[in-house]
A and B are shown apart, each in its own frame.
Chain A
Amino acid sequence: MSADAPETTAVDLDPNLIASRVDGGRITDNILYFARLLRAAGLPVGPQKTVLATKAVLTAGVESPNVLYWALHACFVSHPSEHEIFDQAFHLYWRDPGYLEQMLSLMLPKSPGGSTDESSKELSRRLREQLFSDHEPEATREEDRIEMDAAETWSASEVFRQKDFEQMSAEELRQARQAIERMTLMMEEILTRRHAPANKGERLDQRRMLREVASKGPEFLLPRFKRRTTKRPPLVVLADISGSMDGYARMILHFLHALTNARDRVHSFLFGTRLTNVTRALKNKDADIAVAKVGGEVTDWSGGTRIGHSLKEFNRLWARRVLGQNATVLLITDGLDREGGEGLEQAVRRLRASSRRLIWLNPLFRYDDYAPIAAGARILARYAGETRACHNLASLEDLAIALSARRPASANMGRRAA
């Protein structure tokens, strides 16, 4: 076959460079160093993979640079997102191993300053970000320090719970954050197709019965039961962090952090003008570090909103991957869209169709006479299964309870009786 797909044309290496490092047993050393480079760049490369890679290269041979590339690729890359980093690292390393020493020296703690700028100038941007990303959150954390200028330091609990996040002082916000971290977030459970032994149930556990007969004798043939187990469905949160949501963004992040750490299978996305997946950043146990990390990853804080575009992006890139197993979707936005709801209807309809439960959280629901009039809000109101408020602690607590209820409560719970 004469034609090669683009995937292979990406690798155009000078065969001589490769061949020259094969002789004299240096290939194993080189693979070892290459593995270290990959590890430094953030790929999960352990000794097992390195050994495997060595075996693979010795098996596949180096009949062409492409074979070496793909043999190493098959061993070291185990996720599509790792391909890019591998690709750049491969080109860097196998073209000019001199870079390796440069980079390893950069990774030593003593030289974070002067030499960095000069020698890393030519490193490809992506790899450099991976290599030095560890140092960056420090800076962001400084900025995020909250000033303790609270005039009022004590609030009665109930008043506090009802107070709008937007009107809280710095100290109150801190207390609110702590309250959120303490929240227990239950989640409704759905039946799975697996079974567990039970005292009574609808099905006979024949395997258990037989085992008893075999060990105790035929007269011990007694009914034993099993029943279907339940498990919590995945939760996907899509949160708006545009300018109009400014007062709530921080609280929402803490809420997301609490959710992420309380249970498995929570996926979080933030959007303003573009969509960012912040699931990994929020997995950090420490809320402040997690929020700071998110701050570093998201570039469109407090800007405009393109809800339609962001949801479409989510549908196209993520929906199939994270909504697969009966996911519940929380959409946190005020529905104020810069583009007047363009493309929103299609995107929301698709989102509704591919999720088991779509809950719209809107801080504007705090106003009793709020009606979704803006174009975006009107569309969201039509497709969301439930709508709720999310402007104070009490409403977040309500939400936590709602999530644990088996059946969706009636819509528009957020509008609290006047």
Chain B
Amino acid sequence: MAPLPTSVSETKELLAQGRYLAGEALSTSVYLSLKLQRPLFLEGEAGVGKTEIAKVLAEVLDRPLVRLQCYEGLDLSSAAYEWNYSRQLLHIRAAEAAHERADLATIEHDIYSETYLLKRPLLQALELSKEGQAPVLLVDELDRSDEPFEAFLLELLADYQITIPELGPVRASEPPITILTSNRTREVHDAVRRRCFYHWIDFPGAAREKAILELKVPYASKELTRQLVDFVQSLRQMDLYKNPGIAESINWAQALTTLNCVALEPETVDSTLGTLLKYQDDISRIRGSEAAQLLDKLKSETREAAPADGAA
């Protein structure tokens, strides 16, 4: 396990090592969360790098990543632990068959031992912590779970412990680095928010998006990257039903380079728009004349800007 960073700027560098370009805002939140051992709650549009940050942290800090994907109806037995009922029954049957008139207390003690416990992600994370390998625990898309599950998380978030009625509390001495993400398909309860540091990840500005693309898709031509960033940035101003995130920009850049494009042309934009926009309404609106106009506008802006650059 790598040591934790000791300042905000170190955190930023560390994330950059993992090829994640974070601003000062996000770095501060991450640093505080690491240092004060409090969960970090990240919200933002889809594809802005919420999940990625947990993966990167796990990688640069050299810790295991334990991931819990949330969904409606997620409950204790799939998130934290479950007893292995069939094995427990077998144990009881075996005890009967052997005619040991073992007293109840022994049976109870036997079947509620760790041997019969199936550990799910949350408990796994605490167990790893107990073994001195505090992992990065990612609770992904918390908004997809339902409210009762949130309530269950509270104990974990506040005290880093899970209470199993038959065994007692399992507690982590060194808590896992906990990251929660949400796309805001529903509002997560205040009780969860209150136990976490909160950060809203926004779409990046043009300069940062360009830097990210250069880092993630280095083989794309400079010209293509620049045009692509301008195009995506102006799309985000257009009131689409679903704005493209960074993940989509990266995918698009990858798609375009696979098709050997060195610059954006109306035809290639039309044929690859599906990697960028995910709703038919948006695609049909942009495809064709709108995309061509946008490209023309970007190109003319570049032409205007170019002489000025030359002079400077």
Instruction: Spell out A's residues near B (CB within 8 Å).
Output: 1-8, 44, 48-49, 52, 55-56, 59-61, 63-64, 66-67, 70-71, 73-75, 77-80, 83, 192-194, 206-207, 209-211, 213-218, 221, 315-316, 320-322, 324-325, 346, 350
Q: Which 5 A-B pairs have the closest CB atoms?
A: A193-B73, A3-B207, A78-B193, A70-B28, A206-B85
Q: Is the CB of A194 within 8 A of B148?
A: yes
Which A residues are in CB contact (< 8 Å) with B206? 3
Instruction: Spell out B's residues near A (CB within 8 Å).
Output: 7-9, 16, 21, 23-25, 28-29, 31-33, 35-36, 38, 41, 43, 72-73, 75, 83, 85, 88-89, 92-93, 95-96, 104, 107-108, 111-112, 143, 146, 148, 166, 183-187, 190, 193-194, 196-200, 202, 204-208, 210-211, 239, 241, 281
Q: Is the CB of A49 within 8 A of B194?
A: yes
Q: Give the residue name and chain of the B residue nearest to A70 (CB).
A: B28
How long is the Cα–Cα vector from A6 to B92 in the complex, in angstroms?
64
Which A residues are in CB contact (< 8 Å) with B7? 61, 63
Residue from A5, A63, A71, A79 having most chain B Cβ neighbours under 10 A: A5
CB distance from B118 to the nearest CB of A (A): 12
Q: Is the CB of A59 within 8 A of B36?
A: yes
How long is the Cα–Cα vector from A320 to B36 in the complex, in angstroms?
33
Which A residues are in CB contact (< 8 Å) with B207? 2-5
Secondary structure at the A interface, as helix, strand, loop or mixed, is helix
- Given the interface pairs A193-B72, A214-B104, A218-B95, the reply to whether A316 lies near B241 with Cβ below 8 Å is yes
Q: Is the CB of A70 within 8 A of B29?
A: yes
Q: Is the CB of B104 within 8 A of A3?
A: no
Q: Is the CB of A210 within 8 A of B85?
A: yes
Q: Give the residue name and chain of the A residue nearest to B186 (CB).
A: A324
How long is the Cα–Cα vector from A52 to B9 in the complex, in angstroms?
21
Which A residues are in CB contact (< 8 Å) with B190? 44, 78
The residue that A7 contacts in the complex, of B23, B33, B146, B281, with Cβ under 8 A, is B23
Q: Is the CB of A74 within 8 A of B197?
A: yes
How long is the Cα–Cα vector from A2 to B206 in the complex, in angstroms?
12
- Given the interface pairs A70-B29, A194-B75, the reply to whether A1 lies near B21 with Cβ below 8 Å is yes
- Cβ contacts A to B, 10 pairs, < 8 Å: A3-B206, A5-B202, A61-B8, A78-B41, A210-B89, A214-B108, A218-B93, A316-B239, A320-B185, A321-B187
How long is the Cα–Cα vector from A206 to B86 in the complex, in angstroms?
9
How long is the Cα–Cα vector from A324 to B93 in the complex, in angstroms?
46
Q: Is the CB of A67 within 8 A of B8?
A: yes
Q: Is the CB of A66 within 8 A of B24?
A: yes
Q: Is the CB of B197 within 8 A of A4?
A: no
- Given the interface pairs A3-B208, A4-B208, A214-B112, the reply to whether A59 lies near B23 with Cβ below 8 Å is no
How long is the Cα–Cα vector from A94 to B84 in the complex, in angstroms?
57
- Given the interface pairs A5-B23, A217-B104, A325-B146, the reply to whether A350 lies near B241 with Cβ below 8 Å is yes
Q: Is the CB of B112 within 8 A of A346?
A: no
How long is the Cα–Cα vector from A144 to B183 in the complex, in angstroms?
40
Which A residues are in CB contact (< 8 Å) with B95? 218
Q: Is the CB of B92 within 8 A of A213?
A: yes
Q: Give the residue name and chain of the A residue nearest to B144 (CB).
A: A324
CB distance from B298 to the nearest CB of A (A): 19
Known: A5-B204, A80-B184, A194-B73. 18 other contacts (CB 8 A): A1-B208, A5-B207, A7-B23, A44-B190, A55-B36, A73-B199, A78-B198, A83-B200, A192-B72, A192-B73, A193-B72, A210-B89, A214-B111, A221-B89, A316-B241, A321-B186, A325-B186, A350-B241
Q: Is the CB of A315 within 8 A of B241?
A: yes
Q: Is the CB of B35 within 8 A of A59?
A: yes
Which B residues are in CB contact (< 8 Å) with A193? 72-73, 75
How long is the Cα–Cα vector from A211 to B111 in the complex, in angstroms?
10
Q: Is the CB of B194 within 8 A of A74?
A: no
Q: Is the CB of B32 within 8 A of A320?
A: no
How long is the Cα–Cα vector from A128 to B43 in the complex, in angstroms?
28
CB distance from A271 to the nearest CB of B (A): 17
Which B residues are in CB contact (< 8 Å) with A192? 72-73, 146
CB distance from B264 to the nearest CB of A (A): 21
Which B residues are in CB contact (< 8 Å) with A4? 23-24, 205, 207-208
How long is the Cα–Cα vector from A214 to B166 in the complex, in angstroms?
11
How long is the Cα–Cα vector from A169 to B21 in the complex, in angstroms?
65
